[in-house]
Amino acid sequence: MGKDIDEIVAMERRLWSSANDPKVYEQVIADGGISVIEPMGVVEKQQAVAMSAKGKPFRDVKITDLVVREFAPDCVVLAYHGQGRHEDQENTYHGTICSTYLKRDGRWQLVATAHQPWKPNGSGGAQKRG
């Protein structure tokens, strides 16, 4: 992976591990950026930043089955299975995530992301085969 891709993946990981840090969300999400996360629905940047102040960071974060597509020199899409656990919870969150990053004013910014529940042990949906 190139330097830009490594930077983007690091930003994606930071959103997991800093889910309680509004500064990270303010910096990473582009103005006008949106998230689609059920059951909340469409979440605008301002809502995401505010919600992160009440959030909990994820631990034991794993990003697997990563697919990276560079559609233009300034547009990269990540799709992957992600999992993590809140420190005070026993259950692990599993999600299929798709995030689109654009390079604006010389820096990468998240413009859109969608999260769907994922059942890693086979029930529900296709999985990448190796």
Spans of all domains in the chain: 3-117
Among 33, 100, 97, CA closest to 69: 100
Q: Which residues contact 4 (CB under 8 A, 6 or more apart)?
A: 76, 103, 108
Chain segment 65-86, per-residue pLDDT in tens: 999 999 999 999 999 999 999 9
Chain segment 34-57, per-residue pLDDT in tens: 999 988 899 999 999 999 999 999
Topology of domain 3-117, CATH: Nuclear Transport Factor 2; Chain: A, (3.10.450)
Distance between CA atoms of residues 114 and 98, nearest Å: 5
At 122 the pLDDT is 64
Confidence of residue 90 (pLDDT cuts 50, 70, 90): confident
Among 104, 102, 112, CA closest to 76: 102
3 state DSSP class of 29:
strand
Percent of the chain exceeding pLDDT 70 equals: 92
Distance between CA atoms of residues 93 and 70, nearest Å: 28
At 17 the pLDDT is 95
* Cα end-to-end distance, the chain, whole Å: 19
